[in-house]
Structure 1
Amino acid sequence: MKILHLCTTLDVGGAEMHLLSQVRGQAARGHEPSVAYLKGAGTLADDFRAAGAREVVAVGGALGVARSLMPMMRRADVVHTHLLKADVLGAVAATLAGRRRRLISSKHNDEQVLRRPLVSRVHGLVGRLPQRTIVLSDHVGRFIERYGRVPARRLTRIYYGLDPVPFEEAAALDPARRESLRRELGVQPTTTVFLCVARFAAQKAHDVLLTGFARARERTQAPLALWLVGDDPFGDGRERAEATAARLELGESVRFLGIRRDVPHLMAAADVFTMTSLWEGLGLVFLEAMATGRPVLASGVSAVPEVVVDGETGLLVPPSDPDAWAAAAVRLAADPELRSRLGARGAQVRRERFGIDRMIDETIAVYEAVLERASA
C-alpha cells in the first residue's frame, strides 16, 4: 500500500513523533509510506528517511502544492493528513487530485481555534471531506464532534502507542550512569528532579510550572531541580520562560536544555515527569515517562485523565494553579515510596493499554476499510 502522510511540520513534537512511529511500523509491515510537510525546519526529516519513508518533501507554497504535493497524492493509495493546517490544505488538494475517497485525517489535539464560530463552521465543511477522521482520545473525539462539527459516525478513536524499548533500556541502566548524567547537569543524589519535555507554546503554560516550582521551593527544605527540554521554533516562548525564571530568581535550580536526542536517559535520570498544559489531546510524553517507570505530575485537563490515573499512576492538579502544583510536588519530593509505586503502576498501564503494534495495526485497518469502500 502506498501511503502519503501530510503533516503541518516535521519538527519535534508529539504529533510528529507519533507519525514517525507510524511510518516506521508501516514500512516494517511492507507498506510504502511517504511524507510531505508544509512549514518549519524539517528537523526530523532524516529520522523519517531512516524510518523507511520513501520520500520526504517540503511542500512550501502554492508552487510546491502543484509541483510536489498533487503528484504525490495521485500516486498514493491512501492520503493521511495530520494537524489542522495540513488537514485543511490536504482536504482541498486531495479533492482536486481525485483522492477524496481515499482521504483520512488524524486529530492529535483539541485545537482551541475550533471554538471560534467561524472557524468551526468552515471546519464543519472541510472536516467532512475525509472518509474517516482518527482521534487519539475519547476527549478529542467529543471535542471534534462538537467544535469541529464532524459527525461521531465518521470518527475512529485510536490511542497513541509507544515503542517502549529506548525508555525501558534507559530505566534499566546502571545507577552509576544515571548519577553521572545528574552530576553533569549539576544535580546532587538527594535532589528531586522534575522533568518537562514540551514545546514552549502557550498551551504548555510554562509560566504556571515555573511559578509552581518557585512556590514548592519555598515550602520545603529538600533540594529540588527542574529540567525543561524543548524549544519554540515559531515564536519567543522559550525567551519568555527564561525571563520568568530570572524574575522568580530560580537560578541554577532550573535548566533550559533545548532540543535533546537523549530524552529516554533524561527521563531515567529524573524523578518525576511534569507538564502544566492548559489542554492536551493525549500527551505522548506521558507514555514515555510511564515506560521509564516515572510518576507523572500534570494538570488534569482534556484527555490527560485517560492516560494518567490520579493517585494510581501520577497526581493530577487543576490547570493554571501553581499552588496546587507546588503542594503535589512537595508531596512527591518527600515520598520516594509514593514515586516508586506510581511509576511502577504507570509502566504496567502503558504496557496494557498503549502498545505500539496495536496502534499501527488499528490504523492500517482504517486504511483498508477506506480502500475497500473506495473500490466498491
Structure 2
Amino acid sequence: MRILHVLTTLDVGGAEMHVLKQVQGQVARGHEVRVAYLKGQGTLEPDFRAAGASDVRHVPGGPLFPIKLRGLLGWCDLVHSHLLKADALTSAAVLLAGKRKRYLSGKHNDEQVLNRPLVGLVHGMIGRVPARTIVLSDHVGRFIEEKGRVPRTRQSRVYYGLDPAPFEEAARSVDRAAILAEFGFAASDVVFLCVARFARQKAHEVLLAATAEARRTNPSIKLLLVGDDPFGDERERAFAVARDLGLSDAEGRGAAVFAGIRRDVPSLMAAADVFVMASRWEGLGLVFLEAMATSRPVLSTTVSAIPEVVVDGTTGRLVPPDDAAAMAAAMVELAGSAELRSRLGTAGHERVIERFGLDVMVDETLRVYEEVLRRSGHGG
C-alpha cells in the first residue's frame, strides 16, 4: 500500500508524534509512506525520514495547495490528513483529484474552535469529504459528532499506541541524581514533570499557581517544564507567571525550571516522581501513556478523554480543570507518600501494556485503511 500522510506541521506535538509512530509501523509492515506538511519549522522531518518515510516535504498551504499536492495524490493509494488546517486543504485537493473514496481524516483532539456554530457548520460539510474519520478516543468521537457534525457512523475509534520499551529501559537505568542536578534539583526533592507545548489548552498558569500553593506545605516539591511555543508567546506568559510567583529566576531556574524542548523525555520521565498536566481539554494525551509506561503516576484533570486513559485513584489523580487549589492538594498528597506513587505508577504501567500497545494501534489503523480501499473498489 502507498500511503500519504498530510499534517499541518512537523513540529513536536502529540499529533505529530502519533503520526511518526504510525509511519514507523506502516513501513515496518511493508508499506511505502510519504509525508507532506503545510507550515512550521519541520523539526521532526529527520525523524520521519529515519522512521522510513520515502519522501518528506513542505507543501505550503494556500490557494495553490491542491495543485502542489497533485503529484503526491497521483502516487498514493490512500491519503490520511491530520489536524484541522490539513483536513480542510486536503479535502479540497482530493475532491479536485477524484480521490475522495480513498481519503481519511484523523482527529487527534477536541478542537475548541468547533464550539463556534459557524465553524462547526463549515466543518460538517468538510467532514463529509473523507470516506472515514479516525478518532483517537470515544470522547473525541462524541465531540466531533456533536460540534464537528460528523456522524459516529462515519468514524472509527483507534486509541493511541505506545512502544513502552524506551520508557521501561529508562526506568531501569536512569541516573536520577545526575539528571536532577542538571536542573538544580536535589535527590530528596519530589519532582513533578510537565511535558507539553505552551498553549492555553495546557493551562500552565494553573499548574504554576498550584505548585506555589503546594510548596507552602511541602517545599521539597519542584516542577520541571519541558516544551516550547513555536507559534506564539505562551511560554513567555508562563515564564512571567513563574517569576511573579517566586518560582523561577530570570534564567528560568529555581523551584520551577523551564527546560525547553528535550530529546531525552524517557530519561526525564524516569527521573521525575510524578507526571502532571493541568489540561483544559485533551484528545487523549500521548504523554500520559509515556508517563504510565515509565511507571510514573499521573496528576491531571477530569476533562475530555483523560479519564479514558488515567483512572482516578488507580493510576493517578484527576482534579477539576482550572482549580489550582485542588491540584495543589493532590500534589501535596502525592509528594507525601512514595508508597502511593509506586502503587499508582505500577498500575499505570500495567494499563498501558493491556490497552495501549503500539502494534494494536498500527494494525487497527491499517484495517481501517484496507476497509476504505475495499469499499473504493481499489485492492488493498
| TM-score (structure 2 length as normaliser) | 0.97
Distance 1:116 1:62 in 2: 23
CA distance in 2, matches of 1:204, 1:343: 22
Structure 2 CA distance, aligned partners of 1:192 and 1:64? Answer: 52
How far is the alpha carbon of 1:17 from its aligned partner? 0.2
Corresponding residue SS for 1:57: strand
Kept in 1: contact 2:61–2:89 (CA 8 A): no
After TM superposition, the structure 1 = structure 2 runs for residues 187-198 of structure 1, keeping only pairs within 5 Å, are 187-198=185-196
Matched with 2:80 is 80
Is 1:74–1:98's contact at 8 Å kept on the other side of the alignment? no
Deviation at 1:64, TM superposition (A): 6.0
For residue 239 of structure 1, the aligned residue among 236, 244, 248 is 236
Match of 2:324 in 1: 322
1:104, 1:130 within 8 Å by CA — same for their partners in 2? yes
Identity of aligned residues (%): 63
Which 5+ residue runs of structure 2 have no aligned equivalent?
A: 249-253
- 2:111 is the alignment partner of 1:111: yes
* 1:36-47 correspondence runs (5 A): 36-47=36-47
Q: Deviations over 1:92-134 (max 9, x none)?
A: 1111111111000010000010110100111111101101100
Runs of 4+ in 1 over 6 A off after TM superposition: none
Counterpart AA for 2:350: Q
Q: Residue 316 of structure 1: SS of its match in structure 2?
A: strand
Aligned partner of 2:239: which letter? E
In the aligned structure 2, how far is the partner of 1:155 from the partner of 1:101? 14
Cross-structure match for 2:128: 128
Question: 2: distance between equivalents of 1:207 and 1:17?
Answer: 25
Q: Distance between the aligned counterparts of 1:307 and 1:67, measured in 2?
A: 40
Counterpart contact for 1:14–1:283, Cα < 8 Å: yes
Superposed CA RMSD: 1.0
For residue 52 of structure 1, report the CA deviation from its aligned partner: 0.4
Number of equivalenced pairs? 373
Instruction: Determine if the alignment matches structure 1 residue 250 to structure 2 residue 247.
Output: yes
Describe the superposition over 1:8-42 as per-residue Cα deviations: whole angstroms up to 9, x where unpaired. 00000000000000000000000011100011000
Once residues 127 and 241 of structure 1 are traced to their aligned partners in structure 2, the CA distance between those partners, rounded to angstroms, is 35
* Alignment match, 2:251: none
Letter paired with 1:16: E
Counterpart of 2:279 in 1: which secondary structure?
A: coil
Work out whether 1:223 is the aligned partner of 2:223.
Answer: no
> Residue 296 of structure 1: which of 295, 298, 305 is its match?
298
Query: Do the aligned residues in 2 keep the contact of 1:294 with 1:342 (CA within 8 Å)?
Result: yes
| Deviation for aligned residue 1:61 | 3.8
Gaps of 5+ in 1: none
- Counterpart contact for 1:107–1:134, Cα < 8 Å: yes
- What SS does structure 1 have at the residue aligned with 2:178? helix
Given that 1:279 and 1:301 are in contact with CA atoms closer than 8 Å, whether structure 2 keeps it comes out as: yes
Residues 82 and 106 in structure 1, CA contact (< 8 A), matched pair in contact too:
yes
Would you say the 8 A contact 2:104–2:134 is kept in 1? yes
Structure 2 counterpart of 1:236, which letter?
D
1:61 & 1:319 partners in 2: Cα distance? 34
Aligned to 2:2: 2
- Distance in structure 1 (CA, Å) of the matches to 2:265 and 2:370: 34
- Give, as a single letter, the amino acid of the residue that structure 1 aligns with 2:12: V
Superposition map of 1:137-152 within 5 A: 137-152=137-152
Q: For 1:172, what is the secondary structure of its paired residue?
A: helix
Q: Corresponding residue for 2:155?
A: 155
Per-residue Cα deviation, 1:165-193 (whole angstroms, up to 9, x for no partner): 1111100115xx12111112211111000
Pairing partner for 1:183 from 167, 181, 184: 181
| Aligned residue identity for 1:265 | S
Q: Tell me the distance in 2 between the aligned counterparts of 1:264 and 1:67.
A: 41
Q: C-alpha separation between the residues in 2 aligned to 1:307 and 1:57?
A: 33
Residue 159 of structure 1: how far off its partner (Å): 0.3
Q: Could you state the TM-score of these two structures normalised by the residue count of structure 1?
A: 0.98
Q: Deviation per CA, 1:279-308: give whole Å up to 9, x if none.
A: 001000000000000000001100000000
Counterpart Cα distance in 2 of 1:149 and 1:60: 28
